[in-house]
Each structure stands twice: as C-alpha cells, then as structure tokens.
Amino acid sequence: MRRGRVFLSILLAASVALPTASDARPRLFGALSALMGGMAGLAVGHHYYRQHHRAIARHDSERPVAAEPQPVAEKSPAMQLPPPPASLANLPAADFGTTEDQFFGYVVAPASYDTKFWAHGERDMIQAVFTKGSTAIAPNCGETSQQRADPLIERIAQTTHPNDEQRVALQSLQAALVNAFDRINTTCRDVDPITPTARLKAMQERLFAIRDSGLSIRTSLAAFYDMLSDEQKTQFNAGDVTGDITGGSDPGAKPKPVAPSAMQVCEAQAQAAYAWPTALIGRRVRPTQQQGASLAALQKTLFGMAMYLKGACPNETTPTPVARLDAAMRRIDGMLYAVIAISPALDDFYGQLSDTQKARFNSIDRAST
C-alpha cells in the first residue's frame, strides 16, 4: 500500500517539472531528471537509513524508541551524508515565508541573495511539521503585488541604467512581476493551518505558486536581458549594487562569490534530515508497533528526499539572470517534489494517531528538536 502511494507521489512529482508554457519547453529534460532523481533518492535514502540508523540513534541525546524497528546495519561504500553536525545553527536562517522574495532576489541581485535563497530546503519541511506559522502567514502578505515588484525593478534599473527603449521592456517585466506576485498572494492565509499535514500541504501550494510565477516572468526577463549592451549585461550578471533589496544598499560592500557559497549552503541542507526527532516523537507519542513502522517509513522518505535535494544544488556558475532563474526553478521543483513525496508518509503516520497522540505530536516544536 505504501509503495503504491510512493509511486503515485513520483508520478505527481513528474508533472511538477513538466512545462506549462511555451517558454518552459527547455525544462522537459529537467522533468525527466526529476522523476529519475526522485526514484534514485528514495532508493538511496532507504539504503542510507538502514545503514546509519543506529549511528543516528547514538547522536541523539535520548534513547531510541522501543517500538521502532531496529534495522540491521549494512556495510557498503554507497553514498553517505556527512556525519551528523553538532548543530545546524551555522546555516543561514531560513524562513519559508520569505522564499519567494529570496527567489526573485537571487535572480536580480545574487551578491545579496545567494546564500539566503539556497538556505531553503529540508529545514523548511521540518519546520512546517513542527512550527506553527511557518507556511501560510508570510511577512510580506500584507503588501500589494505592486509594492513587492517595485523594489526588484528599481534594483534592475540601478544596475543596468536602461535607455528609453530598454525601459519599455523593463516595464513589461515589471507587469509580469506584478502578475507573478498576484499569483503568490493568493496563497496567503490569515490563519496558519493547525495540523502538520495541513502545513505541509500549504507549503506545497505556495511552492506551486512560486514555480508558476517563475515560469511567467521568464520570457519578459529574457527579452529585457537580450536588449542590453555587453557592459549592461556584465553589470546585471554580477548584480553589483549590493545590499538587501528591502533594506537598502551598502555601496562599500564587496560582492561575494555566488557559486561556492551557494553550493556549500545548499549541500549542508542535507544534514537537516538529522533534525527529524524520531526518538523524541516516540517518547511523546508512544506509538504502537504499527505506528512505529509508519514513523520509520516517514524517516526513510525524509532521508531519501535529503539525498535527492542535495542533487538539486548548484554545481556550476549561473552568470546570467535567466540562468539564475532556471537554477532557482530547479531548486523549487526539487522542494516541491520532496514535499509531494513526504506528504503521504506524514499523512499515513499522523492519520494513525489517536486524538491524544496527535495533541502530543503537535506539542513538539522546533525548539524541542
């Protein structure tokens, strides 16, 4: 039954990366890669979980759950995650509610937003399960789409200094950005979902909106970029006006390398899978043998998605804004696929809990993990 659900998730995830507009045709190969990569991620994650389950338990400060099956360790030179970190505090802060701002910010101003955007990944999903307010109530939901688009356009204008003809194309890009934020703002909610399964579904909805918004601006972004002179392209490629778009700029700051820092931060996200507190959940919820098996299956899926998302990290420089948009889209596609794959496993475990057990599960927050 669970295998059937996983296969259905893979089919759904394949549709995530399929192009929905003419400017997305080059992404068809990415769709097939996402499908194969997701299947491989699940397989590798299953093997990794079996091989390192006991090692993870040793790094947990509290004893493992008695009801949880103890897989036999296997000796294999297969792919391995780095040893569990003492803390994930060295990673940049990642608030899922700001993902779309950092998504567009990375495209326009990589020097300021590379690590901020690539810090999104596995931790977002873990936070969605354990942290209320992490998915639906975004800090910028109170702003209009125009207010959200204008700082991005102003940043591009400051970087490229467009002439009159180029400014017309920039206005078209601005209109596309406004429409993009219109789409994203439809996912804003006044009240955050109560249950972890509902929060994960809200995250899926928002990721879909960000993905669609990225697709919708690609043609306008490419058209504007193609009109620039070589000098203007060089300036836009570097995003050389530094500083947070919403917080002003620092003309004296030096741009930092984009690819190495982004790659390091992104790959470090794979370690966030260690933050899934299986033993703590077991002590709080006290699962039955059947529930314990479902909890183990959930953790296996999470580890598989950690391996899969590691493959969605940047492995080459992305010099142009269009290339950065495509790279950011691949990351969003990867996160969306991971959420789709994890959701059935979380639904299965959470759905088996009694009301009392659900209340105990809901009491686990990010601080206690």
What secondary structure, in 3-state letters, does 225-264 show?
Answer: HHCCCHHHHHHHHHCCCCCCCCCCCCCCCCCCCHHHHHHH
Interacting residues of 196 by C-beta distance below 8 A, sequence separation 6+:
128, 129, 130, 346, 350, 361, 362
* Residue 132, pLDDT score: 64
Distance CA 137, CA 293 (A): 33
Distance CA 168, CA 59 (A): 58
Residue 37 within any structural domain of the chain = yes
Distance CA 18, CA 26 (A): 10
Domain span holding position 138: 2-67+96-362
Residue 63 within any structural domain of the chain = yes
Distance CA 350, CA 343 (A): 10
In 3-state terms, what secondary structure has residue 23? helix
Has this prediction a pTM greater than 0.75? no
Cα–chain center distance at 340: 12
Distance CA 170, CA 297 (A): 49
Residue 89 within any structural domain of the chain = no
Distance CA 293, CA 60 (A): 19
* Residue 44, pLDDT score: 44
**Which residue do the tokens 């391995």 mark?**
80
Interacting residues of 226 by C-beta distance below 8 A, sequence separation 6+:
none
Residue 189 within any structural domain of the chain = yes
Give the count of domains, the chain.
1
* Residue 156, pLDDT score: 95
Distance CA 94, CA 31 (A): 26
* Residue 151, pLDDT score: 94
Residue 102 within any structural domain of the chain = yes
Q: Which residue from 248, 247, 208, 227 is spatially nearest to 321, judged by alpha carbons?
A: 227
Residue 368 within any structural domain of the chain = no
In tens digits, what is the pLDDT along the chain, a chain of 369 residues? 444 444 444 444 444 444 444 344 334 334 444 444 444 454 444 444 444 344 334 433 433 333 333 333 333 333 444 444 444 555 666 678 889 999 999 999 988 888 889 888 888 888 888 776 555 556 777 889 999 999 999 999 999 999 999 999 999 999 999 999 999 999 887 777 888 898 899 999 999 999 999 999 999 999 999 999 999 999 999 875 544 554 444 444 444 444 446 777 887 777 777 777 888 888 889 999 999 999 999 989 988 888 888 887 887 777 899 999 999 999 999 999 999 999 999 999 999 999 999 998 988 776 655
Element (H, E) at 330: helix 321-352
Give the Å distances, CA to CA, from 94 to 55, 88, 124. Answer: 27, 11, 7
Distance CA 169, CA 220 (A): 7
- Tokens, residue 308: 């899969």
* Residue 338, pLDDT score: 93
For 131, how many CA atoms within 13 A lie in the half-sphere containing its CB? Answer: 21
Helix axes 278-285 and 289-310, enclosed angle (nearest 10):
160
If you write DSSP's letter for every residue of 182-218 in order, what string do you get?
A: HHHHTT--SS--SSHHHHHHHHHHHHHHHHHHHHHHH
* Residue 273, pLDDT score: 74
Distance CA 201, CA 293 (A): 23
* Residue 166, pLDDT score: 96
Residue 91 within any structural domain of the chain = no
- What single DSSP character describes residue 135? S
User: Are 120 and 331 within 8 A, CB to CB?
Assistant: yes
* Residue 364, pLDDT score: 79
Residue 32 within any structural domain of the chain = yes
Distance CA 127, CA 368 (A): 12
